[in-house]
Amino acid sequence: MSLHNCFGLAVCRHLCWSLLVLGPATSLQAAAPSITSVSPRGISPGQSVEIVIGGQHLGTVTQLWTSWGPAIAPAKAEAGSARFAVDVPQDAPISLQAIRVISPEGVSDLQLIVIDDLASVAEGAGNQSAETAQSLTLPCAVDGHVDNLSRDYFRFEAAAGQRVSFEVLARRLGSPLDPALFLYDADGRELAYSDDAEGLSGDAQLEYRFETDGTYLAEVRDIGYAGGAQHIYRLRIGDFPCLNVPLPMGVRRGQQTRIDFAGIAVGDASPAWADVPADWPHSWFAVSTRRPEGQSSGFGIVSVGDAEEFLESEPNNTIPQANVVPLGAQFNGRFESPGDIDRYRFAAKKGQRFVFTGVTRDRAAPTDLVLQLLDTAGKQVARVDDAKTAEGSLDYTFNADGDYVLVASDLLGRGGPRYAYRIEAGPFQPGFDVSVNADHLNIPAGGVGGITVNVVRAGYNGAIRLTAEGLPEGWEALPTQIGTGMAAGELTVRAPQGATTAATLDGVRIVGLATVGGTEIREIATLTNTLRGRWSQVSVIPQNVTQAFAAAAAPAPSFSLSVEPAEVVLGKHLKTTVKVVVQRGEAIDEPIELAAVLDKAAFPADVSLKLQPIPKGANEVTLELTAGAKSPAGPFTVVLRGTHKKDKATQTAIAAPINYRLETPLTVAADPGDRVLKREGELRVKIDVKRNPALSGEIKLTVDKLPAGVSAAEVVIPADQSSAEVVLTATTEAGAGEITEMAIKAAAVGNDQVTASAGLGKITVE
């Protein structure tokens, strides 16, 4: 079946890089909406359904933002709930998707929902015992939650020989629930059990063939008996194949690729066909499968790229049997049985540097991948296992021309239908990855909002420029630099005074930019780490939501902060000042405390900003920025947050960034050219100095390494000048010949730590 259709393109266009732009919530302003419940958690293609959002501050909600289509206005909105009539396109792919609600006060965090071909059933009340189990008609999917110290029971009928699949989506929906799933016969005898199904982030999954006609029970609970309103789950029961990942896990853009599947019950799953257009703009593609004559689907996502994709073929357990592949292809495979080892042979040239990275557990494959590289003689030259909770990367520079073999295995020698893997391969490119620490950015109309951008570097330690691309007219991403060696920065965006509320800003991307080795690098920030942190460190984040931002503007702030000047320059052993100015609104009359948004991580080594509050009744304060002996060169940015407290109300605002550049404090140079100094004569040499903008005052010039018989008087360059003449005098004792070691030394008067020197060139004494 072909999975490329017009709906898929619409999903990707809509999901791709919308940025949440909101106002910072304060105690005196209306708060942004928040979601605590979604009902149902699954919606079916081709149906119209009412989605009920529960939460806080929903009375003024104007939109339901969805990742699969245009925003939807509410049918009804109250303080604690909002209802939306949603039409799901018939060709909507079975997949996890994202939703948010937007109001004039802001936008909620991202929540997950399932586009599912199983009909949704709401969990009923009072099903906490086997005797009061809720009756179900299969196939279906139950949306429920587990209470503390409780369990949920469901009763259903099954026929002799019937195969039924059971799957609990909980952790994969962002729930803190650690589900356990039990299957019983009518007498309470346990038939099957699943807890922490391999690869599924702790969720449960099993398939069972019933031996006799009868009534059966399914139980869902938290493995530690934890629970509460947020411990939600979706229990899928049907004839779907129980999947982990597609196989191959990646496809090539512009090609049609057959997709099979890895999982516990996939032998009779129908193949899918990923027909990815050449202009497909994203790195993922949704796929799904059913059994022949099946009524319900298993689903997953494949990676999309431009490199050749290779699917391993058996036998390849020995070096002579190794699959022959081109260097740079992406490898996809499965360990078919315990102890299976896959080998790939390719030709490489001396000096080529390639990186091979395993991809398994963060995509729902349980494989703990080990990679080994064998040289032309069959000797192991590199090996890698884990990189914390992810698979490792093997970075190797080939030391000779010839054939090499990459060996893939599971660390524990496991194998079977679940144990798929992917190896992403490519030439080493110095660069970096960027991610954001929130799935939205709050910006008040006429004010500034900030979002922390984290960087992971690979062979590049220089400055990274941050920006937000695709902002609407009038919005501005303020200049921001993650400086040399820094691991994070704060990107700020200013909204115009007339920014409209509850307006969707599709197509905005947070981007890191740098020139690395003459190549322009452009990396788009992802949400993966943020969502993991918010969703109980779930290992699998759907690829199609790792970039799922949305956008809205919020009300104007009660006060705003600006910085003068917008950029300053200083250097080692120097200091400069910046002014922070407040525009106070009504009742903003107390001191405003200032702090760096990233605290100590906001500054490079040996750089400090002496913070002090804007006093009560004042509209500005001057701060001193100082650089020490270990301060690195280059551009940097620091962002300040102001906090105003009065009575029991606390309000905050983000200031425009302070951009500063660390440059050489002082340089000195002599006029070029060969010179002649006659005995009993003098030679005048023009000396130029260049001061750092943070350096003022006089500069003292002296000459070092004067030979016998040659002298030079100290010269002071006035504060308002940048050049002077140094006079060299020779006596009759001066030795004739060439002198090349003399140097001019410049020192800042009053700051002995700021010095510079330069050679005087060749001087001939006659």
- Asked whether the whole model's pTM tops 0.75, one would answer yes
pLDDT of res. 103: 87
Cis peptide before 315 (omega within 30 of 0): yes
CATH number of 120-239: 2.60.120.380
pLDDT surpassing 50 at residue 31: yes
pLDDT surpassing 80 at residue 15: no
Q: Do domains 559-662 and 666-765 have the same CATH topology?
A: yes
Question: What is the CA angle 114-117-122, rounded to 5?
Answer: 65
Contact criterion met (CB below 8 Å) for 763 and 683 = yes
Lowest mean pLDDT among 23-32, 38-47, 48-57, 303-312: 23-32
> Quick one: 154 exposed, middle or buried, by C-beta within 10 A (0-12, 13-18, 19+)?
buried
- Answer with the residue of higher pLDDT: 404 or 25: 404
pLDDT in tens, 527-556: 999 999 999 999 999 998 887 766 568 888
Please state whether 201 falls in left (phi above 0), alpha (psi between -120 and 50) or beta.
left
Of the CA atoms within 13 Å of residue 567, those in its CB half-sphere come to: 9
Q: Reduced to 3 states, what is the DSSP secondary structure of residue 532?
A: helix
State mean pLDDT over 333-358.
97
State mean pLDDT over 142-155.
97
Q: Which CA distances in Å does 211 have to 163, 214, 688?
A: 10, 9, 96
Contacts of 679 (CB under 8 A, 6+ apart): 709, 730, 731, 732, 734, 736, 765, 766
High-pLDDT (> 70) share of the chain, %: 95
CATH 2.60.120.380 is right for the domain spanning 309-427: yes
- Answer with the residue of higher pLDDT: 69 or 430: 430
Q: How confident is the model at residue 501 (pLDDT cuts 50, 70, 90)?
A: low
pLDDT in tens, 59-68: 999 989 888 8
Contacts of 520 (CB under 8 A, 6+ apart): 513, 514
Lowest mean pLDDT among 204-208, 376-380, 472-476, 674-678: 472-476
Give the fold, CATH level 3, of 435-539: Immunoglobulin-like (2.60.40)
pLDDT of res. 200: 96
pLDDT in tens, 421-473: 999 999 999 999 999 998 887 788 899 999 999 999 999 999 999 999 878 78
pLDDT of res. 67: 87
pLDDT in tens, 722-741: 999 999 999 999 999 999 99
CATH architecture of the region 559-662: Sandwich (2.60)
- Answer with the residue of higher pLDDT: 27 or 456: 456
Work out the mean pLDDT of the chain and round it to a whole number: 92
CATH architecture of the region 666-765: Sandwich (2.60)
Strands 120-122, 140-145: pairing is parallel
Mind spelling out the 3-state secondary structure of 640-707? EEEEEEECCEEEEEEECCEEEEECCCEEEEECCCCEEECCCCEEEEEEEEEECCCCCCCEEEEEECCC
pLDDT surpassing 80 at residue 76: yes
pLDDT in tens, 604-623: 999 999 999 999 999 999 99
Separation CA 661–CA 361 (nearest Å): 42
State mean pLDDT over 241-260.
97
Q: Where are the domains of the chain?
A: 120-239, 309-427, 435-539, 559-662, 666-765
